[in-house]
Structure formats: structure tokens, C-alpha cells
Amino acid sequence: MPELWMPGATRLDIGDHAATDGGPAKAIAHITWDRNASAAKPQDVVPYTNLRAYFAGGGKAVAPHILWDPFTGAITQFVPANSRSKSLADKAGGTRTNRAGKVVLQIEALFFPYCRVGTAVYAKLTDTPCKGWSELHAWVKSWGVADAWPMGRPTDFTSHRSESVWEEQGGWYAHAHVPENDHQDPGSWPAFVGAEATPPTTSKPKVSLAHVVTAARKDPAATQGHNTYKAEVLRVEQALKAEGLLGAAYVDGSFGTKTVAAYARWQRSPAGGGYTGAAADGIPGKNSLRLLGARHGFDVKE
């Protein structure tokens, strides 16, 4: 049985425990990013004791499970592993975030880009000594969190979010990967212990271009709610919803008139190819669908 409280960590229970929903086990990588610095103007790292006091006091409402100091290896845990914590935005009525798994272990690394410790300046988290990472990784893994990044290991501050991947796949997620959140952290994260010998592999779900084109041509004229290729159309609709182009009420697996209109808006958008006129007719094309899949975690087959 894995330990509810990480062995070796300082236990600082803030209470307010609540159950998670079950499902694939997840871990979320964050950095505290409590100061803005630059290569030209680095700033001293915030003392670990300050952040620990914040999450135990005025910052309880956004506290993670774990605060980790990669410079010293110090670790403090605020809630047990089987409770949700509150470091993620979770909009009412939307996709569950803080509770969306058997565990959703949230790890805050004490770090911001170009922080200074003594005379040394660290541009990325992976530039730090990452002390304590082996022990932290082993504890997270003991809870069934796979050594995998379903949306890619973070190497910069690029946001990439997919509700379908989030809901269906366990493993590690950057804050920048979680639906309903707008943060871009952590920017980088240490490699899994032993990952070089056995690199994790993940496969993305596939959407048939021919199937969704057929659905886009047939569903609007069919009876209300008709589904030609429901599973694949749902992935496209979930992606359009995540882009803010399709209302949740129309994410039903039917490529009806609302979905056609939403897809046309995607085609006209710069991210969707910037098409104009008849080229933005709401019928998926290979390029626009691949662009959508790249942003929302699915591959396109012809």
C-alpha cells in the first residue's frame, strides 16, 4: 500500500481533505513563479520557509500536495495523497481538474526563471541540482502515476491543452496542459529516474479524415442528433469546444450545423490555417484537421 504521506517529507496538514473522482492516476508539475526575472535582471529565489508558510496560511485555497525545494531537497506535504488539492483552476460545470483521477498529485517546485541562489542564476528548473527528485518521483510512481507525459514533457512555456487526453490518460501533466487553466508553467521538468534506459511511449487517438468529412456532409441533413461516426466527431467537437468555438451543449458526436459553423470558424482562425471564402466551409480538410489534432492530442489518418 503506498504511503498517504511521503516518507521523509515534512508533514504540515492544512485539513480540508476531499475525495477524488477515480480514474487514471495523474501528477501535475508546477513552479511557484513568485517573481518575474530575466537574464538581464535575475532575482534572488524566495525563501522556502516563506512559501511553506504561505501555503499553510493565506494560500491554503491554492495549496498543492507537495512543495519541493530543488536546491536543498526539502519537501513539505500539505494534504494526503488520496485527497484533492486546489492548485488548479476548476470552473463550475466544466471538466474536472483537481479531482480527475484516482490521485491528482500536485507538485510545486520552488522556482522561477532566472532565479538566483548565491551567485548562480538558473534559467530552467532542470538547471538546478533537482535534489530530492529521485525520492519524490518514487513516491508519486508508487501511487500508480505512469512515467509518461500524455501531452509531451515540458521543455518551454508553451501551453497545449486537450480535454479528451486529460480525461482519458494518466501520467504527468504540466500546468500548461490542464484544461480550464491559463498558466504556462513549469517550462521544464527533470527526467523520470531510469527513463533514459526505458523511454515511455504513448500513442495518440486517431481521427479519420474520411469519416469526419462524411459526418459533416450527412449529419446536418439527418434527423436531430444523428451520429454517423460518433467517437471521432466527439474528439473534433471537444477540440472545438476547448478552442472556445463550440458550446458544450453541442458536443454530442453529431456533426450538425452548429459543429459545421464552429469548424468554419476554426478554418478562418490563424491557428486553423487562416482560410477564407469557400475554403472555410466547415467541412474538415487534411491540413486544418491536422492543425486541430496537433493542439488537442489526436492524429489524423486519411
Q: Where are the domains of the chain?
A: 10-177, 206-301
More confident residue, 283 or 94: 283
Q: What is the pLDDT of residue 159?
A: 86
Predicted confidence at residue 198, as pLDDT, reads: 43
Whether the CA torsion 17, 20, 26, 32 is positive or negative: it is negative
Q: What is the pLDDT of residues 137-194, one digit of tens each?
A: 999 999 999 999 999 999 999 888 988 899 999 999 999 999 999 999 999 999 999 8
pLDDT of residue 234: 92
Q: What is the pLDDT of residues 245-292, one digit of tens each?
A: 999 999 999 999 999 999 999 999 988 999 999 999 999 999 999 999
pLDDT 10s digits, 43-91:
999 999 999 999 999 999 999 999 999 999 999 999 999 999 999 999 9
Percent of the chain with pLDDT over 90: 86
| Residues composing the chain | 302
> Tell me: the pLDDT tens digits for 223-255?
877 788 999 999 999 999 999 999 999 999 999
pLDDT at 94 over 90: no
**Which pLDDT belongs to residue 195?**
66
> Higher confidence at residue 92 or residue 226?
92
Q: Say what the pLDDT of residue 197 is.
A: 45
Contact predicate 77/85, CB 8 Å: no
Domain 10-177: give its CATH code: 3.40.80.10
The cell for 201 is 511511449
Q: What is the pLDDT of residue 200?
A: 47
